[in-house]
Amino acid sequence: MSDISALWEAESIAVIGASERPGALGRKPLDYLLRYGYKGRILPVNPRSPEILGVPAYPSVKDAPGPVDLALIMVSAERVPGAVDDCVAAGVKLAVIASSGFAETGEEGARLQAEVVAKARAGGLRIIGPNCIGAVGYENRVLATFSPLFGAESVPFEPGTLAFVSQSGALGFGAASLALERGLRPGWVVSTGNDADVTALEVLRELSAVPEVTGLLGYLEDTPDIGTLRELAGSGKPVALLKSGRTEAGGRAAASHTGALATDDRVLDAALRGLGIVRVDDIDELLDVARVFESERRPTGNRVAVVTTSGGSGILAADAVEAHGLELSALEPRSKEALAEIVPAFGAIDNPVDITATVLSDPSLFDRSLDVLIADDTVDIIVAAFCVMAGPDVEKAVNALSRAAEKGGKPILVARTGADFLAPDAPRDLREAGLPEYPTPARALRAAAALWEVSRPRTLPDAPRPGTVAGPGAGATEPELKQLLAEAGIAVPKGRIAADAEDAARAVTEVGGTAVLKAVVPGLLHKTEAGGVEIGVTAATAPEVFARLAALGGQVLVEELVGDGVELIVGVRSTDLGPVLTAGLGGIFTEVLDDVGHRLLPLAPGEGADLLAGLRGAKLLTGSRGRAAVDIEAAAALLHQVGELVQDWPPGFELDLNPVRVRQRGAVVLDAALSVDAALSVDPAVSVDPALSVDPAVSVDAARAAVR
């Protein structure tokens, strides 16, 4: 038994602050442990009572007969440090601090919380909480909680396979109560409160190692640790997270195109998507996903077949398939031939398969149609949608669905649009058959998409390497950045800085006779808006353009004019979760269209191509409305090259390549900009001459050495 697993495996529980007073929080855990038949040792701690609720009590946890696997601390905040000292002295390894009055109350509470955590860590004691409602392990009837849920007159207490972990205790146990009402069966419910020591994510990781767990559900308020997320994803158990705080990042994110597009919330979405963890938006969706996680059937692809008794349900299901990124199976020709012999002439054999209300008079239609879809190799998931069927008709449909699921092993989800009073036993029968049930096709397909997300094969990317090479400094110019890109194998236009007006004319001739001239001014990220870019410059017009651009206060860059293509934005921003790569439609439409994708670095093989294929404007790359296709392979390769270039840079940078022009052959970076947070870009553990940290030439040289 690990320290954290004592939350559901403890063979002895001390309740510090135990009380017999009716309504007291210190009484509830004792009531629950006794009421629900906990088989381990219950150790009430109260210096004024030799016995509580008929159980011998002890003045201190140090006086209780050991070992003590779990302590539940339920005394006022100012008495918690002493209780922690007693737990350390008694050799307790895990304590749940239910008491409030800590970091959630302000600075003074935060200081007290830090003191408690420091005491605990020094003594080898892990802390859950504080400000925590506690935890429940159903199998061993460990009720280390004061949640009012278990004080209700009748509470289902059948151990299940779902684990719920929540920073918010009230929300977590509230969600658990709704799960019970829907017929779901949690096996573990844990709240972590202020997450001062053990985090909700750590508990989820610990539960992922429990063989009986089929699904992990979490509610998080803090930004999760990427290392723990990777370990959780690597467990192979399906995970869904409800993360609050979908707000736009401010301040620093507005410094560049990439920062404005790669907000903190989008970065988290990208991290979870890359790891195969489902993110949900509300409790209803979390519970819908939980239902499909109860079944251990997993799809091998994302192709869906819909069989329905209602044309309307079939249309809604088809719409939801596309909306949730799934694919409607085309069905094999032999399947359509077989269905033509089964489905009435006024039904439909093209997916969705509409067997019509004739099923009421001929229940075999369900059996026979499902047999065809189970045998079809183009079908990975089946959604059965029926409406307003009652009593025996529902029972027959459930039997047919159950037989089909057993035969083929493919996941089957049920959209039963009709009130429970039409078929009171249907929810129970479907649950016992392992058939997730939803009231509408859209909710069934949303759950199917979540099931595919946690099931699809993926190569998890390696953890990012810590920054070991000095990246370019905040003063790095566009020409310096482009030289660095070129040395990393990334294509940039031919060009150079012009010394004066006459030299600008010579440079135009050198790059082909028609050129682009740019002002190179430190801090000027949006050159076009500032009038700092001139396109189509000839040798004759170059001196005049040079003079105008030089007046902006910097150097003038002369570059070849790159031919037509599709423009992308490519950038990398360092975040709390690690460096994240952003790519999407670029140029002047970056903010207007906001068609971008995000991936944590390093990229897994094929991830660059996957990102580009997921853009709404992907057809611009593959060719549409008479436009020629461009070199998608080169664009994808560029994403991987950029990821390789920056992965050793320290935190605090935003690299913005916009636009990147993707042509019929090749992809070229037309513009490059960099912003650096100096406070984050230097490792304080390394002694650095301050003069070097702002010298762009030194910084670029160091980064250049890393890519050689």
| pLDDT (0 to 100) of residue 187 | 96
Instruction: Reply yes or no on whether the pLDDT at 76 is more than 50.
Output: yes
Burial class (CB in 10 A: 0-12, 13-18, 19+), 644: middle
pLDDT tens per residue across span 165-188: 999 989 999 999 999 999 999 999
494-560: CATH topology: Dna Ligase; domain 1 (3.30.1490)
Instruction: Reply yes or no on whether the pLDDT at 660 is more than 60.
Output: yes
* Whole-number Å distance between alpha carbons of 353 and 383: 10
Measuring CA to CA, how many Å separate 3 from each of 7, 17, 74, 126?
8, 22, 20, 7
pLDDT over 70 percentage in the chain? 89
263 close to 158: Cβ distance less than 8 angstroms? no
Residue 483 has a CB neighbour count (10 Å cut-off) of 16
Instruction: Reply yes or no on whether the pLDDT at 458 is more than 90.
Output: no
pLDDT tens per residue across span 81-127: 999 999 999 999 999 999 999 999 999 999 999 999 999 999 999 99
pLDDT tens per residue across span 612-643: 998 888 888 988 777 789 999 999 999 999 99
Burial class (CB in 10 A: 0-12, 13-18, 19+), 691: exposed
* Whole-number Å distance between alpha carbons of 288 and 285: 5
* Whole-number Å distance between alpha carbons of 575 and 263: 9
Delimit the CATH 3.40.50.261 region(s) of the chain: 302-455
Residue count (the chain): 708
Instruction: Reply yes or no on whether the pLDDT at 47 is more than 90.
Output: yes
Task: State both tokens at 508.
Answer: 């135009």
Instruction: Reply yes or no on whether the pLDDT at 220 is more than 80.
Output: yes
Burial class (CB in 10 A: 0-12, 13-18, 19+), 6: buried
Q: Alpha helix locations (H) across 495-555?
A: 501-510, 542-550
Delimit the CATH 3.30.470.20 region(s) of the chain: 566-707
> In which element (H, E) is residue 553 found?
none
Residue 211 CA neighbour count, 13 Å, CB half: 0
Amino acid at 368: R
Top CATH class, 6-223+230-240: alpha beta
Q: Domain 566-707 is classified in which CATH homologous superfamily?
A: ATP-grasp fold, B domain (3.30.470.20)
Taking the CA atoms of 343, 345, 349 and 355 in sequence, report the sign of the dihedral they define: negative
Q: Which of 61, 58, 53 is nearest to 88 (CA)?
A: 61
* Whole-number Å distance between alpha carbons of 124 and 538: 74
Task: Give exposure, 286-311, as e/b (b: 16+ Cβ within 10 Å).
Answer: bbbbbbbbbbebbbebbbbbbbbbbe
Q: Which residue has the higher pLDDT, 332 or 247?
A: 332
Q: Which residue has the higher pLDDT, 263 or 578?
A: 578
* Whole-number Å distance between alpha carbons of 193 and 4: 15
Burial class (CB in 10 A: 0-12, 13-18, 19+), 377: exposed
* Whole-number Å distance between alpha carbons of 576 and 22: 47
Quick one: DSSP state of residue 64?
A: S
| pLDDT (0 to 100) of residue 418 | 84
| pLDDT (0 to 100) of residue 80 | 97
68 close to 91: Cβ distance less than 8 angstroms? yes
Q: Which residue has the higher pLDDT, 169 or 72?
A: 72
* Whole-number Å distance between alpha carbons of 379 and 428: 27
Delimit the CATH 3.30.1490.20 region(s) of the chain: 494-560
pLDDT tens per residue across span 192-217: 999 999 999 999 999 999 999 999 99
Question: Backbone phi, then psi, for 353, in 5-degree steps?
Answer: -90, 115
176: Cα separation from own chain's centroid: 21
In the β-sheet with 555-560, what is the strand arrangement from edge to edge?
A: 495-498, 555-560, 515-520, 533-537
> In which element (H, E) is residue 533 found?
strand 533-537
| pLDDT (0 to 100) of residue 699 | 41
Spatial CB neighbours of 2, under 8 Å, sequence gap ≥ 6: 206
DSSP 476-489: --HHHHHHHHHHTT
Show the CA angle centred on residue 130, arms to residues 50 and 197, nearest 5°.
120
Q: Where are the beta strands (DSSP E) in 203-296?
A: 215-220, 239-243, 278-280
pLDDT tens per residue across span 273-330: 888 999 999 999 999 999 999 988 899 999 999 999 888 899 999 999 989 989 999 9
Quick one: DSSP state of residue 462?
A: P
402-406 contacts at long range (C-beta below 8 A, 24 or more positions apart):
402/433, 402/434, 402/435, 403/367, 403/370, 404/367, 404/370, 404/371, 404/373, 404/374, 405/297, 405/433, 405/434, 405/435
| pLDDT (0 to 100) of residue 682 | 40
302-455: CATH topology: Rossmann fold (3.40.50)
Quick one: DSSP state of residue 588?
A: G
